[in-house]
Amino acid sequence: MYTSPRAKLVNVSTIGNPVLDEEAVRRIVRSEIEHADAKDPGTASAALIASKGTLDWAYPPLILATTAASLGMEASIFFTFYGLNIVHKDYDRLLKVSPLGNPAMPMPVPMPNLVLGLPGMGPIATKMMQSKFRRKNVTTIRELLDLARDLDVGLIACQMTMDAFGYKADDFIQGVRFGGAAAFLAKARKAHLTLFI
């Protein structure tokens, strides 16, 4: 006769003296806690805030969120302040790089700030970064946004900043939802991985 492991346990319990003392219970509890920790809900989600609106700073939230999602985490990005640029329909035109005031930006030749401030230098810096990234096969913003939507990364535009900057729901790319900081934080407080970018 087939007896399932569970039935067997119960049988043993009934026959013998299955009585568990405190020590045995504590042992069971510890194994259950260990198991529960391994699937700690906090480790299963990532909540990122994207607040900057330049080409270079559009990369980190998109790369980190898609990487988290590809690791099986539930990832979402809250686009606020200048970060709204990243999910604006015109992101390709809005996301620029400014070399001014950013001495960490690698330039082909050192240029004094006054030259960088000349009209036309901003577009040159943007083009330079775009081509540097293209040569190295770094994915484009368009590809990352597509990937994010494929991986079900939550893309949430901050309602308050939209109002302050005069944007309408219609100004944003497909798949973007709209919400406030409170709704976002209510979710983010349960995530271990919370980053303000």
Report in angstroms the alpha-carbon separations of 128 from 124, 137, 139. 6, 14, 15
Which of these segments, 23-31, 141-149, 169-177, binds its own copies (CB under 8 A)? 23-31
Q: Is 107 helix (H, G, I), strand (E, B) or coil?
A: coil
Helix 141-150 to helix 55-70 angle (10° resolution) is 30
Residues in a beta bridge with 88? 172
Do 181 and 158 contact (CB within 8 A), yes or no?
yes
Cα separation of 69 and 153, whole Å?
A: 7
Residue that the structure tokens 């035109």 belong to: 93
Footprint of its own copies on residues 168-187 (CB under 8 A)? 181-182, 185-186
Q: Are 95 and 86 in contact (CB under 8 A)?
A: yes
Position 107 contacts its own copies (CB under 8 A): no
| Contact region with its own copies (CB under 8 A), list: 22-30, 144-152, 171-179 | 22-30
Work out whether 189 is an interface residue with its own copies (CB under 8 A): yes
Q: Which of 3, 41, 107, 140 binds its own copies (CB under 8 A)?
A: 41
Q: How far is the CB of 159 from its own copies (least distance, A)?
A: 12
42 sits near its own copies (criterion: CB under 8 A): yes
Q: Which range in 17-25, 144-152, 169-177 contacts its own copies by CB under 8 A?
A: 17-25
Q: Which of residues 64-103 bind its own copies (CB under 8 A)?
A: 64, 67-68, 70-71, 73, 80-82, 85, 94-103
